[in-house]
Chain A
Amino acid sequence: MSEITYREAMREALAEALSRDERVFLMGEDVGRNGGCYAVSLGLLEEFGPERVRDTPLSESAFVGAGIGAAMGGMRPIVEIMTVNFSLLALDQIVNNAASLLYMSGGQFNVPLVIRMTTGAGRQLAAQHSHSLEGWYAHIPGLRILAPATIDDARWMLWPALEDPDPVLIFEHGALYNEKGELTEATPGLDIASAAIRRAGDDVSLIAYGGTLHTALESAEMLAAEGMSAEVIDLRCLRPLDTEALVGSVLRTHRAVVIDEGWRSGSLSAEVAARITEDAFYDLDAPVTRVCSAEVPMPYAKHLEDATLPQPVRVLEAVRRLGA
């Protein structure tokens, strides 16, 4: 067992993919010479060369679309977008092409593409670098949406994502890059479909993903100090959702709090809550509740950003409201 950062885990995953399959290449803004906007791909240009670690101009739509075209042309591109807010410049390509081409062509053209991007707040980057829009993408049929929250998932989700014949979007929470942890050795056949129980418990299910997994785990620790046993579910895959795991947890705990850094209205948290209500309503002892970001564009000032984001104290308040 060795201890590495989330960033290093991701870098190892990229290096492994580039070594294992010559069809794989990485492209995006500053991924080469600069080693990645978040230093994830540092050293890969030197190891794999400029054809396979390809710097792009600031042309999100063209280089994401080029990833789609290259995937249809037989390659296995990994496209990096600096942050989810910038992915909106490529929304046409992601939604109208990547997600739709297989269906629109009657099953003829699949798009084996992986798009990685940073998401989330917590670094005082204000309203155009901090949002959590992965829930929007989880709305789109044809896409698989992953949110690695642990060192292991950062390390081991990429290869199965590349083996998926269809487009996969990987959301890396920016606050996680410096997280350190122990890496489990290769998990063969690690799935990119199911949710994981990160902490077992009986009194309440805390459902989280990506950046909010840590909020949930911290909350569970605080609840334990109060004598309450919380189960922490990490969604891992936001589309398709592992409804079975959600329902399974609620059948044990009979209470659920969804913790999502996205906004509450029309959100992923709403989808999770709806699924629990649809499939486990009569097993609930209290309404499903949600802890989400305040409905404001992300403010810059530290105290305001903190007030915007889901914090453990708000999770605890929510749990108490459930009467657990």
Chain B
Amino acid sequence: MSATRRVPPKTGPRSEAARADAHLVHLLTQMLRIRRFEEQCVELYSRSAIRGFLHLGIGEEACAVGVMEALGPEDAVVATYREHGHALARGISMRATMAELEGKLEGASRGRGGSMHIFDAPSRFFGGNAIVGGGLPLALGLALADHLAKRQRVTACFFGDGAVAEGEFHETMNLASLWHLPVLFCCENNLYAMGTAIERAQAETDLTLKAASYRMPAWEVDGMDVVAGEKTAPTAAEAVRAGGGPHFVEMRTYRFRAHSMYDPDRYRAREEIERWRERDPIPALTEELKARGLLDDAGLERIEAEVAAEIRDAVAFADAGALEDVADLERFVVSEKGGGQ
């Protein structure tokens, strides 16, 4: 590459295509960051650096990555207890995320929350909610605040198929629609609420149909295909932002690992898991990029090496992190003088 040769910036459809190609590589990189991060979490759990409940989203990375790409910095995100991927895709640093999992002061929530409660004010990431369905009313309220303040923002609310069985889901869907609030409901349907299969838990298993019954645009996408998700999400997000009221997207996905580290996974057939593994979103996109000549083995190795370096750095950061002084145990039960918004 010559430093002296100035190339005029490309314009027109060709550069747009190039940007789109580069973007696909970016999506792959984001999914790989999440996947490798969570694989690292398993190791850290084995050596007891991470304790408590640890819910991994391995297999579901495309959902978070696809939706986050559609959001701007002013938008809000409400996530669940299976939210490492959402936090990373939203731009919370891997260092702060890992330090939180290790219960360190440098963690996103000062080590007060752990794996299930990652919060980040600068990126408007409102948790990390571990009561199934409990985050939906919060998203409703964040959107209500935007509505009352006449701000054109989107609140993206993630939840699983399990939440659809909760009363809070139905109350929230009704109110969001009734009040025409700017919420993007992102349902990650991985077919199991802990160990209970959806057909054993819900009389109507078509979740999109349920959402549509509240008179809001609702549709399903392949949650194992990041490109499909990433095409749908901006359209939905823009419609919400433009005043189109709440929208509902059901992403059909699957978690390859058990519900949590304590779950013996007795409720699924091995063949079922294997069948879904064949649809792993990461190899799928990798193959597509290779087939289209947008990525070669060397390129993939480079990405993997960069991700591995970021993870090493995050683990070192977390390991070296401080434990909060026990004298501060009661800080933030209530706001400090002059604190609060």
**Using a CB–CB distance below 8 Å, which chain A residues touch chain B?**
25, 51-52, 56-57, 59, 61-75, 77, 92-93, 96-97, 101-110, 112, 141-142, 144, 165-166
Contacts and interface: CB of A to CB of B under 8 A. Distances in A.
A71 B141 contact: yes
Interface residues of B, number: 47
B144 A66 contact: yes
Given A69-B140, A108-B121, A165 B335 contact: yes
B339 A74 contact: no
A105 B112 contact: yes
B137 A66 contact: yes
A274 B149 CA distance: 47
B142 interface: yes
B137 A93 contact: yes
7 contacts: A57-B174, A62-B168, A69-B141, A71-B145, A73-B149, A92-B134, A166-B340
A106 B109 contact: yes
B335 A105 contact: no
Contacts of A165: 334-335, 339-341
B110 A107 contact: yes
Nearest to A52: B148
B148 A70 contact: yes
Interface of B: 76, 107-113, 117, 119-121, 126-129, 131, 134, 136-146, 148-149, 167-168, 171-172, 174-175, 178, 331-336, 339-341
A48 to B, nearest CB: 12
A102 B341 CA distance: 12
Given A61-B168, A65-B136, A69-B138, A74 B145 contact: yes
A57 B178 CA distance: 10
A279 to B, nearest CB: 20
B140 A105 contact: no
Contacts of B139: 69
A102 B335 contact: yes
A75 B112 contact: no
Contacts of B119: 104-106, 108-109
A66 B175 contact: yes
Given A74-B341, A106-B108, A106-B111, A65 B146 contact: no
Contacts of B107: 106
Contacts of B120: 108
Nearest to B116: A104
A61 B108 CA distance: 28
B321 to A, nearest CB: 13
A73 B141 contact: yes
A103 B111 CA distance: 10
B263 to A, nearest CB: 22
Nearest to B178: A57
